[in-house]
Structures are given as structure tokens and as C-alpha cells.
Amino acid sequence: KNQVEQSPQSLIILEGKNCTLQCNYTVSPFSNLRWYKQDTGRGPVSLTIMTFSENTKSNGRYTATLDADTKQSSLHITASQLSDSASYICVVIPNPNSGYALNFGKGTSLLVTP
Amino acid sequence: DSGVTQTPKHLITATGQRVTLRCSPRSGDLSVYWYQQSLDQGLQFLIQYYNGEERAKGNILERFSAQQFPDLHSELNLSSLELGDSALYFCASSTTLGSFGDTQYFGPGTRLTVL
């Protein structure tokens, strides 16, 4: 069973609207949680990195939140643009003492339409 | 452009064959990571090298091997290829050993098709 579950699997929104992507994980303990943006056919690009003690991290119109108690993270995109159309991947990095079994979500595919 | 280069961009080969994928990290980066991305499995971490030495292993098959050379470029060797090995293979680099705590910069990937 995947230890990182992302929802929704896909999402279509109108340009200019906001949206929130969810990531639920069971990995424990963990070192940090990351969100990546991946355009079709290209390598992932890091958006945010949060340690377990951080609650929120922003990168322009992208804001990630983390609730370590409920083991949930979200990525909020504000005032969406057509260029936000991509797959967004949540990655949970375990505590190094637990090994290097990186835990990737399968991603949320976002389509922003005019 | 992340500064990480990968060659070739596309590779088509037959089952049972062996291929080598090449990665050049960003200037100054000592860590190189290899990932496999298939449609049904998503991204999976394969292996990490740091300054020429293997540092961490993920879900890498025994048919696969990698190395990092003194000039820090890395190669991923895939042998006895099977249809299921068809995937995008990404290389990423980072400045430090990281324990995955630092930002990784991904290359454009090599698309491998096994027929």
C-alpha cells in the first residue's frame, strides 16, 4: 500500500481560480515533505520543502501547509494561470535513520482552462 | 533549464538488450540521483551517488547498475531489458549529501521504450 495518497487524481479549473491539492501520508517519522510540479514530458521542479516542524511554506502563488498531527499536507494555488497546468507530486522523505525509501504520491493532474 | 543534462533523450531497444543512460549534474553538485517514472508506478527512487560513492539505494533491480565517475557524471546501466522497463528515467543532482534535505534539480529525462 502506498504510504502517500494524493487527491484528487485530476482537476480542471478556470484560469484565475484558486485550488487546493491534498496529500495524506502514513510515513513516520519523516524528515521533510516536498511538493514538485512536473510539466508533461519534463523533469519535476521543486516548489516547496517543509520539515516536520514547519506548518506552511510559500513560493509565489504556491502555498504548502503541513499538519504533522493528522499527517496531511495541502498545496494551494492562488489565481491560477494556464502555465500551472501540470502534475503536482507530493514526496515524503523519511528520517534518514529509517533508510532511504522515498515515498512518492502518484500526483494530481491539474488542467487550467481559459 | 535545470543545468542537469541527460542523454539520450529517447531510446528504443528490444527485450534482452542492454543500454546505458548518461547524466551530467549541475556544475558544483556532488550528489546524483536516478529515478524511474512509469505510468502505473509514478516516480520511484533508484539510487544515489555522492562524490563517486554509492550513498543510498531504493527500488533498483539487480539488472540495473549505476556509477559516478571522477568528473561527477553518472551512468545508469540497464541490462536484460524487459517490456516493463519502458519508462522515463530521470537524473537529479544536488549540492550536498543532503539526506534528501536539499533541493534536487532534475534533468529532462530519457524516455526508454523496450519493444
How far apart are alpha carbons A105 and A88 in whole angstroms? 9
Chain A contacts of B43, Cβ < 8 Å? 44, 89, 91, 104
* Amino acid making up residue B80: S
Chain B contacts of A43, Cβ < 8 Å? 2, 4, 90, 92, 106-109
Torsion over CA: A7, A11, A16, A17 (sign): negative
- Strands A108-113 and A10-14 come out as parallel
**Count, residues in chain A:** 114
Report which of residues B55 and A108 the model is more confident about.
A108
Instruction: Pick B100's closest partner by Cβ from A44, A93, A105.
Output: A93
Q: So what's the pLDDT on residue B100? A: 58
Q: Which pLDDT band holds residue B97 (cuts at 50, 70, 90)? A: low
Which segments within A4-95 are labelled E, that is strand? 4-7, 10-14, 19-25, 30-38, 45-51, 56-59, 62-67, 72-77, 86-94
Q: Cβ–Cβ of A43/B4 closer than 8 Å? A: yes
Q: Which pLDDT band holds residue A2 (cuts at 50, 70, 90)? A: low
Indicate which of B91, B100, B113 best probes the interface with A, i.e. most A CBs within 10 Å of its own CB.
B100
Is A106 within 8 Å of chain B by CB?
yes
Instruction: Pick A106's closest partner by Cβ from B4, B42, B90.
Output: B42
Q: So what's the pLDDT on residue A104? A: 84
How far apart are alpha carbons B46 and B55 in whole angstroms? 11
Q: What's the rounded mean pLDDT across residues B32-43?
A: 88
How far apart are alpha carbons B59 and A82 in whole angstroms? 35
Q: So what's the pLDDT on residue B10? A: 96
The secondary structure of residue B9, as a DSSP letter, is S
When computed from its CA atoms, the radius of gyration of chain A, rounded to whole angstroms, is 14
**Least Cα separation, residue A89 to chain B (angstroms):** 9
How far apart are alpha carbons B55 and B47 in whole angstroms? 8
Farthest CA pair distance, chain A: 47
The secondary structure of residue A9, as a DSSP letter, is S
Give Cα separations from B95 to A44, A73, B10, B32, B51 (angstroms). 17, 26, 27, 9, 10
The answer to whether the CB of A43 falls within 8 A of the CB of B92 is yes
Q: Which residues contact A8 (CB under 8 A, 6 or more apart)?
A: A21, A22, A108
How far apart are alpha carbons A25 and A2 in whole angstroms? 9
pLDDT tens, position by position, A75-93: 999 999 999 999 999 998 8
Chain B contacts of A49, Cβ < 8 Å? 101, 103
Residue of A nearest to B105 (CA): A45
The secondary structure of residue B82, as a DSSP letter, is -
Alpha helix stretches (DSSP H) within chain A: none
